[in-house]
Structure 1
Amino acid sequence: MIPYNPRVWLAYIFRFHRSDSFRALFPFLLMIAAYSGIIAYLEIEYFHLEENSHVKNLSVIHTTLGFVISLLLAYRINSAYDRWWEGRKTWGALVNNSRNLAIKLSVILKDEKDLVYFRKLIPSYASMLNKHLKDEETSMLLFDDVDLAINHHKHRPNQIAKMLFQKINDLYVSHKITGDQLIILNNEIQSFTDICGACERIKNTPIPYSYSTFIKKFIFLFVLTLPYAYVFKLGYYVIPVVSFIFYVLASIELISEEIEEPFGYDDNDLPTKKIAENIKKHIEELI
């Protein structure tokens, strides 16, 4: 995720980051500009359309459809941002739940060997969840001071959650924790699986294909018909005007595509790796 100061305007207005939509849309902007120039030349220099031509009335359609496309794009980017923000909330919950589990274990447990086990295992859940959501491959992992092995051919976060609960249950059987403490710790571990399920739901349930493709087609058809009517009012100035309209509309769709899947490698995706590293740092301070 790109850190920035929202109060600094000029620095970001004239700065084109590599993730900026202008860079991605630049080839399409050239195509739209060339297309608009051709339409303007044909209507002005070749066909010599008169002011009472019915082509001029196409602007009525654009006025009506402009309102519709604005509603569609507003819903599109709001839906994408909801997915991004829900992903951030789930990882925020993972941070808090990891801290709470570590705080309770640091008070309840007295055996240093048990504390070392959880010191290694609790941060491992966040690290594995990050890799799991990004589909990163990991080989068999062995942790120092802990008899632990993770098989990457199976669901890795579930393996760690099972080991956490297995260790908690062993502590109960060996009378190192009470039944009430078992229930309290179980709720913390259960929340890890709930968080994993919420992240998987976001990752595996994209915006419906038909809705996404319809918006793209709508934008292109809307923009491609703009020069026909507005040449009468703007002349060759229709080239930069239509290009700018396409830039605005297509940028909203492009931004929506980027943030609707917050667990990838795009510049504006969630910094899950950094969050996992912070969890590890905090757990090592607590236990």
Structure 2
Amino acid sequence: MIVRPRMHWLRMLFVWRGSVMPRILPRLGFFLALACLAVVLQPLPFNLKFNLREGPLGLLGVALAIFLGFRNSTAYDRFWEARKLWGSLQIVSRSFMRQALSLPTPALSVEERREVTDLLRALALTLNHQLRGTPIQLDTLPPGLRERVEQTGQRAPRVILALADWVARMRREGRLGELLVAPLEANLDRFSEVLGGCERIASTPIPYVYSVMLHRTVYVYSLLLPFALAGSLGWSTPLVSVFVSYTFIALDMVTSELEDPFGTEPNDLPLDALTRNIERAVLELAGEPLPPPTRPDDSFLLT
């Protein structure tokens, strides 16, 4: 995710990092050349304008903008829901840690407190790598957990199971009564809900046929637009047509980034930073030393 201070409106016009301009600039160059070609060919006697008029393309442009806006809203809803799920993960992790510190009788020893802390940190870490499909370094997990997650691809559910085993052990030892087990079990259910919500977003993209239809329409519209404008705008055609093409192509590109919020593109969620925030939250409650927070790099990218 790009995180940078608020900028003056004039500087915002020339922002490069975090925009989609680097990825679509070659395409805009192609449409600029096409628009210049349409203006050059327009006065020739043979019919190169294909009898195109601004009116029909204008209606098509309005419809295209509406559909792109709807797709963009759908993609942003997925992005925002993913962010809320990770916010819930931090809240539930903090609540579980607080209950683990205050409910058992006698209170947890230093080793037991560190065990719960390590499990909660491991849950955020394994979910991060599971959603991004990246390998996890098993030496970052607690020793007792490494063997349990080493042979499975779905490692976050294994961590939740380890937390459930910890609750069951406290109950067997008589340190948690049935009434005290209930809030801990409720938080375990909330962990599973967060995990299921993230998996649903990661495994269910926006329907492919809908994306293909809009993608094709955007580029066909951008190809036809210069020939419809050349007769009335002349050499203003390249400027106008490229700006319109930029608007539609950039919206299409932004939507493709936002629909997968767990990726590693500049506008995706900063899962590494969110994972570190959860680690710091549970360590602070446990009275352990805190790792430094994750900061954006020199290009304002927060991973």
Return the TM-score normalized by structure 2. Answer: 0.87
Q: Could you tell me which runs of 5 or more consecutive residues in structure 2 were left unpaired when the two chains were aligned.
A: 287-303
Letter of the aligned partner of 1:127 in structure 2?
A: L
* 1:220-253 alpha-carbon deviations (Å, 9 max, x no partner): 1112111222111111221121111100110011
Matched, 1:272 2:271: yes
Give the Cα separation in 2 of the matches to 1:231 and 1:193: 58
Q: Is the 8 A contact 1:80 1:260 kept in 2?
A: yes
State the 1:269 CA deviation: 0.9
Give the Cα separation in 2 of the matches to 1:42 and 1:213: 31
Q: How does 1:147-226 map to 2 (within 5 A)?
A: 147-149=144-146, 150-151=149-150, 153-226=152-225
State the 1:8 CA deviation: 3.6
State the 1:155 CA deviation: 1.1
* 1:72-110 alpha-carbon deviations (Å, 9 max, x no partner): 011011011100000000000001000011111111231
Partner of 2:229 in structure 1? Answer: 230
Return the TM-score normalized by structure 1. Answer: 0.92
Matched, 1:62 2:57: yes
Query: What's the secondary structure of 1:248's corresponding residue?
Result: helix
State the 1:54 CA deviation: 7.9
State the 1:6 CA deviation: 4.3
Give the Cα separation in 2 of the matches to 1:142 and 1:12: 40
Partner of 2:88 in structure 1? Answer: 93
Letter of the aligned partner of 1:35 in structure 2?
A: L
Decide whether aligned partners of structure 1 residues 122 and 40 sit closer, same or farther in structure 2, where only a CA change above 3 A counts.
same
State the 1:48 CA deviation: 6.7
Q: How does 1:3-22 map to 2 (within 5 A)?
A: 3-6=3-6, 8-17=8-17, 19-22=18-21
Q: Is the 8 A contact 1:139 1:152 kept in 2?
A: no
Give the Cα separation in 2 of the matches to 1:242 and 1:24: 18
Q: How does 1:38-187 map to 2 (within 5 A)?
A: 38-44=37-43, 46-47=44-45, 55=51, 58-109=53-104, 110-112=107-109, 113-138=111-136, 140-141=138-139, 143=141, 147-149=144-146, 150-151=149-150, 153-187=152-186
Letter of the aligned partner of 2:79 in structure 1?
A: W
Q: Is the 8 A contact 1:172 1:182 kept in 2?
A: yes
Letter of the aligned partner of 1:37 in structure 2?
A: C
Give the Cα separation in 1 of the matches to 2:103 and 2:4: 42
Letter of the aligned partner of 1:26 in structure 2?
A: L
Q: Is the 8 A contact 1:137 1:152 kept in 2?
A: no
Give the Cα separation in 2 of the matches to 1:30 and 1:143: 49
Partner of 2:31 in structure 1? Answer: 32
* 1:24-50 alpha-carbon deviations (Å, 9 max, x no partner): 111111111111222221122x22769
Q: Is the 8 A contact 1:165 1:186 kept in 2?
A: yes
Give the Cα separation in 2 of the matches to 1:54 and 1:39: 11
Alpha-carbon RMSD across the aligned residues, in angstroms, is: 1.9
Give the Cα separation in 1 of the matches to 2:196 and 2:139: 23
Q: Is the 8 A contact 1:141 1:151 kept in 2?
A: no
Give the Cα separation in 2 of the matches to 1:36 and 1:132: 46
Letter of the aligned partner of 2:150 in structure 1?
A: N
Letter of the aligned partner of 2:14 in structure 1?
A: F
Give the Cα separation in 1 of the matches to 2:140 and 2:51: 72
Q: How does 1:244-255 map to 2 (within 5 A)?
A: 244-255=243-254
Give the Cα separation in 2 of the matches to 1:128 and 1:104: 22
Q: Is the 8 A contact 1:33 1:243 kept in 2?
A: yes
Query: What's the secondary structure of 1:148's corresponding residue?
Result: helix
More deviation, 222-231/87-96? 222-231
